[in-house]
A and B are shown apart, each in its own frame.
Chain A
Amino acid sequence: MAKTTGKLELRALTKEFGNGSEKVVAVKELSLTINPGEFVTLLGPSGCGKTTALRMVAGFETPTSGQVLLDGEDLSALTPDRRPMGMVFQSYALFPHMTVFDNIAYGLKVKKVSTAQIKKEVGEILDSMNLAHLTNRAPNQLSGGQQQRVALARAMVVRPKVLLFDEPLSNLDAKLRAQMRIEIRSIQRRLGITSIFVTHDQDEAMSLSDRIVVMRNAVVEQSGTPEEIYRRPSSVFVADFIGRSNFLSVAEVKKGASRKVTVEASGVKLKVNAHPKALKSAHPHLLVRPESVSVKKSSSSSKSRKANEGVVKNVVFYGNHVEYSIDTPTQTIAAVVSDPVYDEIVPVGAVAKIDFDESRAWLLPSDSAVITSEE
């Protein structure tokens, strides 16, 4: 069911709290166009403004300036109850004094849908979400996952044009979280409802989204598909926030043929892709994800090792992969080797030879942020 309505535009949305010297800018000129049926995640550390942005879309906060438009119509004058949006809250916010059925029926009753129709629609959504056996339970008799599904059903049954999720999975345990991710995504796809999802969990963002908007200190740091964000981050901050990273200092940068750049890192010359701003940057960094680092035993001793060799400081065996930290003369490198052959694992204290996969490396402009290569 492809939808043509539900196009959401945020225009220079700004929110300031307090005034005078205590003024805090929570969101600064956030502009974003979300296509009908698109699933967009606002991702960032706590305090970056993502929840405030979501609450402005819902109407719970009045923007200091800027607009929210739905299908070209300005929503500024509308209170939350007039906006055709459904919201799923972090705490679920189920009405504790109503049964599951009454919780889900609430929005339909407000809309003055007939009793028979309410019964039918609530019944359908209860069935589709495997909640039928809980119809007459009170919210406090449900598990966290069940409460979450009721909250989702309650928001969706009114067929909103936009679904808003405020960190809805953060109160669930890891296994349920993974399961609910899949459930949310499949229902959202099936109904084609435009969605905004707020989270600080990169796994959630990566697995759910058509597009990820990474926010930091009230502004958008980068917006793109999960792949773009992961493979071609625009800054050290984004690279560091999404997944684990090695940032190598590079000695020599030369612009080569076919948009590639030649750099020297850890004594090896590499031909890599680069962010347009990286070339103008004084001290660009080379991003190499741990899984793009290969590790082999070396015959060198710890004294005679070369620039691309290092002493293994730590090895953790996870079964399906092995994680290394390796001290090279210049820095510590993290490496992940998947599906390891047990005999080839380099033990702690031994010297390992490191190779970087240059096709997957990415040259980044320098960043004012403190770089932490390990989370």
Chain B
Amino acid sequence: MALKRSGTKYDIFTKIALVLVVAIVFFLIILPLLNILIYSTQPTGSAIITNAFSDVVIRQILWNTMKLGLTVAFLGTLLGFIMAYTQARVEFRGKKVLHIVNLVPIISPPFAFATAVIVLFGRSGIITRGIFDWRPTLYGYTGLVLVLTLSFFPIAYMNLLGMLRSLDPALDEAGSSLGASKWRIFRTVTLPLLIPGFAGSFLLLFIESIADLANPLIIGGNYTVLASRAYMAINGDYDIPMAAGYSFLLLLPALLVFLVQRYWAQRKSVVSVTGKPSGRPTVVTSRLARFFLLSVTFLLTSLIVLVYATVVLGAFVKIIGVENSFTLEHFRYLLGGFANAAVRATTFLALMATPLAGIFGMLIAWLVIRKVRRGSEALDFLGMLGIAVPGTVIGIGYAITYNDPVKIGGVTVFPQVAGGAAIFGGAIAIVMVYIIRSSPAGQRSGISLLQQIDPSIEEASASLGASGGRTFRLVTLPLISGAFLSGLMYAFAHSMTTLSPIIFLVTPDISILTQKILAEADQGRYGNVFALCCMLIVLIMVIGGLINLLVRRFQVSTDRPLVTGR
């Protein structure tokens, strides 16, 4: 380095970790993205990009995507806020149960919602037709908005609940001691302080909904969005450059919004965390407000419960709503050979990816907060790319990149890991996708935890003679084991339920559960879809629970003094 910088020099452990992280990020996400860019310059690809606004069809797809993203982001944030505010500030029975119900959609396979909503509210829906004799058309914009909002509002809920809880109750008390009414405090104190949370949630929901592929495929009907169009370019037109072109159109707004969201979150983060709240938060007592909040909450929660009831019941009856007799035939069919291999492969690959994703996320978090000085933001961003880039884009990028060995000047630097002829039948590419898609969650929780841990705890270890690697192992890791655990749980659940990138990577040798579900949903065999969803949920709960137990054994109580001094 030409310029001397503050702090100590990098020790050898840090250097190795840095090189490793950069190499992993390069092969797992940068290279596939570069290939998307390269392919999108070929004629059929560049035609998509250059005609994006002049071609009526492409313009319509673009507009569809944006409209869907904006609607879902708005509705999801609003619902998430109402649920979070109710959870944080309204006293009522069954609060904890409600909290869990609100979080369930995060770990459930996306098809569960789409198919259950069709069964309940579709043209021949149990509720719409059965009760109201009404035959609405759900396929398209309406259905997508309904399903995506239900699937993604928990992101806004968690985000805003965290912020509401970290708001110092003394702020409310200060407001009321200055003579402000509760409504006025809500308007002038609570809402303004939550603005970064609203913005963050809105942008995250926007990214999630424009990136979603599974639901547009099942319930989108003629409402084509960029993700489903890119998928069709591969599976219908067999035109990779065209798929790359649509991917590029999808990638651009996704990355842009992601950057804006990060900037926003960082700039406002000071306001959101005002230290440990000391008092008790004020509770909503107004009858009108309580009635409103609890009604919305009750309706939404009932809806979620209804959807899951449909999924579970649907798995055990012949055709739900039509022939409601108990049967195990769906499970018999699935376990009679249709899904056995997929269950085994999916679980095995997700289990392979889980610890790797967990450690990778923690390593990046640690480097970003503690070690890297110049460029720590860039490193953080690189680590988050896996979640910022839509799964469809990643899947197409992988298919382009790893269906052949990666060569530089005729020398193979990375073997063929995707496609039927690849080693392990393409399993490696799937694990790679699992890792890069699920490590960002661990990275985020690791970063926020590390920011709260006094750096002098690690300095104390160094001053007692422990090397960088030893300090990381003996002090840092145990202290962030909570974040590590939640990172592992998330990585497993996310890997088990991810579809959009995987769809491009499955081979005759490796089949994945989510892709089986899609295939069955495509055929309209909803009984099998529900049974598969049930199996997936049970697998996630059982194995996730085991991971939890396993890690907890090694975890030590780090209750209080993490936040000390200064």
Contacts and interface: CB of A to CB of B under 8 A. Distances in A.
Contact of B565 (A19, A86, A89): A89
Contacts of B454: 91, 93
Given A80-B463, A110-B465, A60 B475 contact: no
B457 A158 contact: no
Interface in A181-229: none
Interface in A29-71: 58-62, 64
Interface stretch (B100-108, B215-223, B240-248, B555-563): B555-563
Given A60-B8, A140-B560, A111 B465 contact: yes
A81 interface: yes
B565 A171 contact: yes
**Band of interface residues on A:** 35 or more
A94 interface: yes
A97 interface: yes
Nearest to B454: A91
A89 B456 contact: yes
Contacts of B6: 15, 17, 61-62
Contacts of B560: 96, 140
Contacts of A308: none
Contact of A110 (B5, B470, B559): B470
A62 B564 contact: no
A96 B558 contact: yes
Interface string B314-337: 000000000000000000000000
Contacts of A82: 465
A79 B463 CA distance: 9
Contacts of B558: 96-97
A7 interface: no
Nearest to B458: A93
Contacts of B463: 58, 80-81, 83, 85-87, 155, 164
**Among A59, A89, A154, A155, which residue has the most Cβ atoms of chain B within 10 A?**
A89
**Band of interface residues on B:** 35 or more
A256 to B, nearest CB: 52
Contacts of A154: 460, 464
A139 B559 CA distance: 10
Given A106-B466, A138-B557, A87 B460 contact: yes
A127 B465 CA distance: 24
Interface string B437-464: 0000000000000000010110111111
B11 A106 contact: no
Interface in A163-180: 164, 166, 171
**Among B3, B463, B478, B479, which residue has the most Cβ atoms of chain A within 10 A?**
B463
Given A61-B7, A96-B558, A81 B465 contact: yes
A5 interface: no
A60 B479 CA distance: 21
A347 interface: no
A152 B23 CA distance: 42
A166 B463 CA distance: 13
Contacts of A92: 564-565
B462 A79 contact: yes
Contact of A106 (B4, B464, B561, B566): B464
A140 B559 contact: yes
B9 interface: yes
A59 B8 contact: yes
A80 B565 contact: no
A81 B459 contact: no
Contacts of A171: 565
A123 interface: no
Contact of B462 (A17, A64, A80, A166): A80
B467 interface: yes
Contact of A97 (B456, B556, B565): B556
A89 B460 contact: yes
Nearest to A76: B9
A79 B470 contact: no
Contacts of A98: 556
B455 to A, nearest CB: 9
B8 A61 contact: yes
Contacts of B459: 58, 60, 80, 87, 89, 93
Contacts of A58: 459, 463
Contacts of B468: 79, 81
Nearest to B556: A97
B561 A96 contact: yes
B379 to A, nearest CB: 21
B258 to A, nearest CB: 29
**Among B5, B457, B558, which residue has the most Cβ atoms of chain A within 10 A?**
B457
Contacts of B9: 62, 79
Given A60-B8, A97-B479, A97-B556, A81 B565 contact: no
A93 B7 CA distance: 19
A60 B459 CA distance: 8
B306 to A, nearest CB: 44
Nearest to A59: B8
A86 to B, nearest CB: 6
Given A87-B460, A93-B457, A110-B464, 7 more contacts: A58-B459, A59-B462, A80-B463, A85-B463, A91-B565, A97-B478, A98-B556
23 contacts: A17-B6, A58-B459, A60-B462, A79-B8, A79-B468, A80-B459, A80-B462, A82-B465, A83-B463, A91-B564, A94-B460, A95-B461, A96-B561, A96-B562, A97-B478, A97-B558, A107-B466, A110-B465, A140-B560, A140-B561, A154-B460, A154-B464, A158-B465
Interface of A: 15, 17, 19, 58-62, 64, 79-83, 85-87, 89-98, 106-107, 110-111, 138-140, 151, 154-155, 158, 164, 166, 171
4 closest A-B pairs by CB: A91-B565, A107-B464, A93-B456, A93-B460
